[in-house]
Every structure is written in structure tokens, then in C-alpha cells.
Amino acid sequence: MAPEHSARIGFIGLGVMGRAMAHNLLGAGFAVTVWNRSPAACEGLVAAGARRAGHAAEAAACDVLVTMLADDDAVRAVVDAHDLITAMPDHGVHVNMATCSIECAREMTARHAEAGRDYVAAPVLGRPDIARAARLNIVAAGAAHAVERARPALTAMGQNVWPAGDEPHRANAIKLAANFMLVTAVEAMGEATSLTSAYGVEPADFLEIITGSVFAAPAYLGYSGAMADRDYDNPEGFRLALGAKDMNLALAAARAEHVPLPLAATARERLVEALAAGEADLDLSVLAEGSRRAAHLDDRD
């Protein structure tokens, strides 16, 4: 059967989020070529109808190249090692959906422009379950014609595509600001739960009240269950190490424009404490344990 969409999509970066997003592109009728540094991640997508690229440059030789990589270093490593910008066709657009620094976004924008290629930053708001349901919120910034060329693919992966202007780094600024708010919200919820616990209130009872009333929002609802159960081992959660990375990027962006972020600095200290406690690979909600440790709640009678 012929693909529903004429645009050919190359997809690089098949972690938990990337795999879900690529599956949705296939489900929407796109012809998708996939590549990943760990080849085994391609298997399920190939079985679902994707074409396996022999090398990363082959995936870049498509109408829309989507990359969903972990961080700045991963983006630079893949782009440079495989000369992806040169491998793109003249009409191609690179849609970088990773959470990157402002510096990396500006660098990638300049490098693509120098080569005569289009670059769009389109970081996502949402966790793997949201990605699987194609309900991501996607913040897209870049030249208007490039965003429009990528829009059908973006729409297949998310419920909203939020325009953020023609400078790609603006989308990254929004994503970093959103993750700053998320981390501080989770930290505040953990601290508040420790406060009520000190007075004999069960965490589950307090969290049920606040998430059913004044804080009935995804940022709280998504993390309250793990806090209530004190069960933070969620392979599909937002790893604390990534939260720490994003907080550092937000603080770097703030310093560059002389914007004070006192809450971010405080939250980063709690993140550093959690990293030192060996909690890097646990869900971000484990921040609640830092508050409990500070209050010695587990040592009380």
C-alpha cells in the first residue's frame, strides 16, 4: 500500500520516547527510515513497516529528518560523526526534538544555515505514555516554511504544535523554562508532603487532596502516585539525572541573559543531593525522599 503522506521521514534516536514517536509516524502513513546507535532499538519499528537505514546519513537523506537524542553531546556526536547536515537534501529540514541548550540550538542553526539547510527546534512536553498516545505538546521554532514542511509529521506525534517564532533557540528556551517549573513543582510537592507527614498525615491522603483540588494539573498528578507509594523505580518516568541536566541548562540560559532564578538554584541543590544519594536513574518524584531525609521523618517514632 502506498504511504498516506508523500514526505519521507528519517528518524534517529530510538529511546523510549523516540520509538513511540516513530511508531506514530508509521501509524499516520508516513514512510519512515530509522537509525539508532544501538541497532536493536530498530527491530520493532522495522517489523511495523519502517525501513532500516544502513547508516545515519541514509536516514538524513529524507524530506524531514527527526532526531530525538539525549542531550547536546549526543546531538553533536551524531551530526558530526555521520556528516548529517551534508547528507540532507537541499529541500530537507532537520527537526531536532531533543532538550538542548540555547548554545547548542544557536550552533546547529548557524551550521545548517551555512550549509543551506533548514533547521527547526521542536522539543516536546510529555512522558512516554503521552508519546505513545500521540498527545505530546510540541514547541516548534524555525523559519516558517520549514516549520510548515515539518508540521504534518509533528501533528502525527502530538496533540498540539505550539509556534515559538523563527529563531529555533526560542523553542529550547521554552522547554527549559517548562522543565524548570516542573522540577520546582515536584520539589515543592515533596516538601509539602514532608510537612504534613511530620504531623501524622499519610502522604497518600495529602496528595489525594491537593491533586483533586488546587493542584489538579498534570505536573502534580503525574508524580503524586510515586510519592504516595514511595516507589520511584519507573523505567518510563522522567529520570532525575535528566531533570538535573535540564536544570543546569536553564540556569546557564538564565546567566547568559542576567535573569535571576533563585528557585532553580535551590532546586538544583536538592537534585545534587539526590544524585549523591544514588538516585540518578529513579523517577523525578524521588525528590520527595530528599525532603524526608532532611526532616529525619523515617527516624521519628
C-alpha dist (Å) from residue 102 to 97, 140, 271, 296: 13, 14, 21, 39
Q: How many whole angstroms separate alpha carbon 15 and alpha carbon 197?
A: 37
- What's the 3-state SS for the chain? CCCCCCCEEEEECCCHHHHHHHHHHHHCCCEEEEECCCHHHHHHHHHCCCEECCCHHHHHCCCEEEECCCCHHHHHHHHHHCCHHHHCCCCCEEEECCCCCHHHHHHHHHHHHHCCCEEEECCEECCHHHHHCCCEEEEEECCHHHHHHHHHHHHHHEEEEEECCCCCHHHHHHHHHHHHHHHHHHHHHHHHHHHHHCCCCCHHHHHHHHHCCCCCCHHHHHHHHHHHHCCCCCCCCCEHHHHHHHHHHHHHHHHHCCCCCHHHHHHHHHHHHHHHCCCCCCEHHHHHHHHHHHHCHHHCC
C-alpha dist (Å) from residue 49 to 2, 29, 34, 43, 294: 12, 10, 10, 10, 51
Q: What's the pLDDT band for 3 if we cut at 50, 70, 90?
A: low
Q: What's the pLDDT band for 2 if we cut at 50, 70, 90?
A: very low
| 175 in catalytic set | yes
CATH no., domain 173-299: 1.10.1040.10
Cβ atoms of 113 and 142 closer than 8 Å: no
Q: What's the pLDDT band for 101 if we cut at 50, 70, 90?
A: very high
Catalytic entry in 175, 245, 270, 292: 175
The highest-level CATH class for domain 8-166 is alpha beta
Give yes or no for residue 80 having a pLDDT over 50.
yes
Q: What's the pLDDT band for 1 if we cut at 50, 70, 90?
A: very low
Give yes or no for residue 249 having a pLDDT over 90.
yes
Parse the chain into domains and list their residue ranges. 8-166, 173-299
Q: What's the pLDDT band for 88 if we cut at 50, 70, 90?
A: very high
- 113-139 pLDDT tens trace: 999 999 999 999 999 999 999 999 999
pLDDT, averaged across the chain: 96
- 4-24 pLDDT tens trace: 677 899 999 999 999 999 999
Q: What's the pLDDT band for 301 if we cut at 50, 70, 90?
A: low
C-alpha dist (Å) from residue 135 to 20, 138, 149: 11, 9, 20
Rounded to an integer, the average pLDDT of 142-171 is 98
Rounded to an integer, the average pLDDT of 234-252 is 96
Portion of the chain with pLDDT greater than 90, in percent: 97
